[in-house]
Amino acid sequence: MRLALTIAFVLIMQGLSFAQHAENFVHIYDSRESYNPASMGMNKCGEFTFIDRRQWTGFDGAPVANMIAFSNHSKPSVHGHFHAYGLNMVREEYGYFQSLVVRPSYAYHLRTRRDFHLSAGIGVGIRNQRTGYNTVNPSSANYDPASSRGQNLLQAPDITAGLWLYHNYFFTGLSMKHILNNQFTIGGLNNGADINYPRTYFLTLGHEHESIHYYYTYVYSLLLRFVPYQLPAIDLNIRYLIKRQFGFGLSLRNFNSVAGMLEYTYDRKFKIGYAYERSIGNLSRLAKNSHEVVFTYYLCPSGLRPKESRCPAYK
C-alpha cells in the first residue's frame, strides 16, 4: 500500500510539474488576469470572477484550484486612454502541498490609430507555499517521520507582467509569469521536495467572426504556454455564442485532453459557466475526469447595463 501511494504521489507531482509553471484553467477567457494583467479593463463595467477547478476527480491527492479576481477601470479620457486596476488570488492544492498567491495589478490602455488599443499591465504580490505534512495522522501507516523536519510555510514575492493588443475582431497578448523564478524547498518525502516556479511565457492569439444580424458569434483562440527548455503547451479553443447569451465551446488542451464548455449570461450582468475535461493520454488510465465552474458578476452602476466588451475575446 505504501508503495502504491508513493507511486500515485509521484504521478501527481509529475502531472503538476507543468501546472505549477502555468495556469491550468479551461476557461482561459475568465482566468486571463491570472496570467496577463494587461487584459484587465476589457469590459465596460468592473467585474468579479470566481473559478473552481477539480482536476482528476476520484484520484486521491488530485489538484484543486480556485481563483478570485476583481477588476475595474477609470473613465476613458477624450483620447480613449484609461487606467485599470484589480486584485487576483489563486489557491491550489496538490498532494500534501498548498499554494496561495495574492497579487494586486495595474494596467494602462492606450488607443492607437484605427481603433486599435494597446495595454500594458503588471501584477506584484506574495506567494505562500505550505506543506500539509504536519496534518498527517502519526498513527497512520502512511505517516513519514521525516516530514516533521521540513518548513511548514514559505513566502516569496510574485510578479507577472504583460502586453495586450486588441481590435473589434482581433486580439493578441504576450506576458511573463513567475518573473522572479522562485524555488521552494519543503521537507517531506525523501527528506525534501523542490517546487519550482520558473519564468513562464504566454502568447495569446484570437479572432472573432460575427453573423450579419449579430445572432451568432464564433471566437477562435489559441493560448501557447512556454517554459524555457521544455516543450510548449497549447490550448486551442472555439466558442459559439447565440445572441451573446448562450454559449458552447470546445477545447483541445496540449493534445492530451479535450474539454466541452457551456455558459449562460443573464441580463448581461451575471454569467455562469461549466467545463468538463477528459484526459486522453496516459493519465486517462488512472484519472479521466476534471470539472470546472465559473461565476462572473459585472459591477455596473444602477440602471446601467454592460455594453459590448472592447475585446472580442471577452464579449
pLDDT tens profile 13-28: 444 444 444 568 998 8
Q: How many residues does the chain have?
A: 315
pLDDT at 1: 41
Taking a C-beta distance cutoff of 8 angstroms, is the pair 199, 227 a contact?
A: yes
pLDDT at 20: 44
Separation of alpha carbons 232 and 283, rounded Å: 19
Return phi, psi of residue 134, to 5°. Answer: -70, -5
| pLDDT (tens digit per residue) in 267-289 | 878 999 999 999 887 766 766 88
Per CATH, the number for 2-314 is 2.40.160.40
Q: How confident is the model at residue 36 (pLDDT cuts 50, 70, 90)?
A: very high
Alpha helices (H) along 103-203 = none
Burial readout 141-172 (b: 16 or more C-beta within 10 A, e: otherwise): eeebeebeebeeebeeebbbbbbbbbbeeebb
Q: What is the pTM of this model?
A: 0.82
pLDDT at 291: 95
pLDDT at 302: 57
3-class DSSP assignment, residue 48: strand
195, pLDDT greater than 70: yes
Domain boundaries, the chain: 2-314
Residues 6 or more apart from 234 whose CB is under 8 A from it? 222, 223, 224, 225, 252, 253, 254, 255
Return phi, psi of residue 15, to 5°. Answer: -65, -25
Q: What cell numbers appear for 188 in the block?
A: 517531506
pLDDT at 192: 55
pLDDT at 15: 43
Question: What mean pLDDT, rounded, does the chain reach?
Answer: 81
pLDDT at 16: 45
Residue 14, H or E segment: helix 2-19
Q: What cell numbers appear for 178 in the block?
A: 513567475
Residues 6 or more apart from 245 whose CB is under 8 A from it? 264, 265, 266
| pLDDT (tens digit per residue) in 287-305 | 688 999 999 998 876 555 5
For range 260-273, the mean pLDDT: 91
Task: Please work out, in degrees rounded to the nearest 5, the angle formed at the alpha carbon of residue 30 by the alpha carbons of 99 and 257.
Answer: 75
